[in-house]
Amino acid sequence: MTTPASSFESTTAGQKEELWGSYFLYRLSGGSAALFDPVSLESVYLDPSEVRRLHADDNSLAADLRTYGFHRTVQAPNRREAVVNRAGTELAGSPTHMSGYRIVVTDKCNMKCSYCFVDTNTSNPDMSQKDLHEGLDLLLTTNKNRKRISIQWFGGEPTIRFDLMKWGDTYARRLAQDYGIEKVTPVVVTNGVLLTDEMLDHYKEFGYGVGVSIDGPASAERTLLSGKPADPRIHRNITRMIEAGVDVGANLTPTPHNVGQMVKVIGYLMDLGLRFIYVNTPIPISGKWHVPGSTLAKALFEARLYAVGRGGMVFSRLDRIYQGIDTREPRIYEHMQRDGGVRVALLPGRRISVLDLNWRDQEFIYAIDDIRSDPGLLNQACKPLFPSPQCETCPALAVCGGPSQNDRALRRTGQPDPEFCAFHEQALALALSDNTGLQ
């Protein structure tokens, strides 16, 4: 009863039925099934004869299932309450502190990408050294004596202000020594167009993680401001960084153009020498997801398997679902870091957005001094849970919890995008039927 004996290929979100008002039974290939508890995140695999006995109301099978924690009850549980109670014992939704920054040094960018969610080249002033000084002071004092913190350089294109990155890394390193912080890990999210020898040396010296935004071999959606393709230059720079020993990975944005060719795209990136590929969760720019959720889940599942087979790793929101099922702990607060803190965005003008990917909506933005004097403001990052009546009957509720605050702001509604829900349902079905040991 415990061994998954399935093939993911035939598992779709539609091939499930509700059992005893509490559980979901996912049909797998060959007549077997996975029985899943959406609150405890426990699952048990049934062979074809057990599935037949289950449907025949076999009491001895029901007794066996009780030993695995699956009970036939008179009253179905309130799943939303049960999940929130479970999550609360491990990790509440309220952040205890700021655990890291996304530092938005400039909104200037040397590219224009059709799916960019940032307002670029607006003529708004860049971050000043004074802003950065004050922001880093607050972050490092807040994290005094913690083992490590991370700072991520972001824009626009952050390397346009490499001077600020250099200054900030050096200053953060000095502060870390003063405050007993073992390590400050810098990361940069870059389009890869700009790379100088000085940058290479700096990336190596500070142990950078460089994430290059790239979505395929030749992207019509990512061009230089002139409209010309930037791909050859970016690919050359990736090779240079890899050859120099810099830790470089890819940030891949799923688009309507590449979602159907995800394995091919990952193959191309791996041919460039990239081994760590992070696939961004779609952001509802213009209020909706632009890729079909179910297709994306299947594409990520296949891409993940493919990358592992070639010695690489594909990370995505699918991993949250695997982690939830694997640890049996709800994953409903995506803004929370492992240490109970939240990553926020440090913005020009001595401001902080408590949502690290939203610096447009003023209700999330505060002066540094306000955050310093009232850390409770960080609670704004915590989303209202399970906003839709359909969340109660959703098998994915304990690995989703509903759209993030940023998604809600971009959609101008608390209701989830149907493609967002389709993604979670399909991804859960695939994770439950995965017998590859990749969890």
Which residues contribute to the site for ligand SF4 (CB under 6 A)?
386, 388, 390-391, 394, 396-397, 400, 402, 416, 421, 424
Can you read off the two tokens belonging to residue 434?
């995965």
4 or 38, CB closer to ligand SF4? 38
> Residue 268's closest CA among 195, 215, 212?
215
Smallest separation (angstroms) from ligand SF4 to the CB of 50: 28
Smallest separation (angstroms) from ligand SF4 to the CB of 134: 38
Smallest separation (angstroms) from ligand SF4 to the CB of 322: 16
262 or 400, CB closer to ligand SF4? 400
Coarse DSSP helix, strand, coil percentages of the chain, rounded to the nearest 5 percent: 40, 20, 40
H helical segments located in 348-417: 368-373, 397-400, 405-411
85 or 122, CB closer to ligand SF4? 85
Smallest separation (angstroms) from ligand SF4 to the CB of 224: 38
H or E segment and range at residue 101: strand 98-104
Please tell me the distance from the alpha carbon of residue 310 to that of residue 324, in angstroms, as a whole number: 26
Smallest separation (angstroms) from ligand SF4 to the CB of 103: 30
Contact 115, 221 (CB under 8 A): yes
Please tell me the distance from the alpha carbon of residue 368 to that of residue 352, in angstroms, as a whole number: 6
Smallest separation (angstroms) from ligand SF4 to the CB of 28: 21
Alpha-carbon 166 to chain mean position: 27
Please tell me the distance from the alpha carbon of residue 305 to that of residue 314, in angstroms, as a whole number: 9
Please tell me the distance from the alpha carbon of residue 254 to that of residue 314, in angstroms, as a whole number: 13
181 or 428, CB closer to ligand SF4? 428
95 or 395, CB closer to ligand SF4? 395
388 or 436, CB closer to ligand SF4? 388
Smallest separation (angstroms) from ligand SF4 to the CB of 396: 5
64 or 334, CB closer to ligand SF4? 334
Smallest separation (angstroms) from ligand SF4 to the CB of 414: 10
Contact 245, 105 (CB under 8 A): no
Can you read off the two tokens belonging to residue 400?
């989703």
Bridge partners (DSSP) listed for residue 143: none
114 or 415, CB closer to ligand SF4? 415
Alpha-carbon 25 to chain mean position: 27
Smallest separation (angstroms) from ligand SF4 to the CB of 23: 16
158 or 402, CB closer to ligand SF4? 402
Three-state DSSP class for 349? Answer: coil
Identify the residue whose tokens are 């690489």.
312
H helical segments located in 206-290: 231-243, 262-271
Please tell me the distance from the alpha carbon of residue 249 to that of residue 231, in angstroms, as a whole number: 16
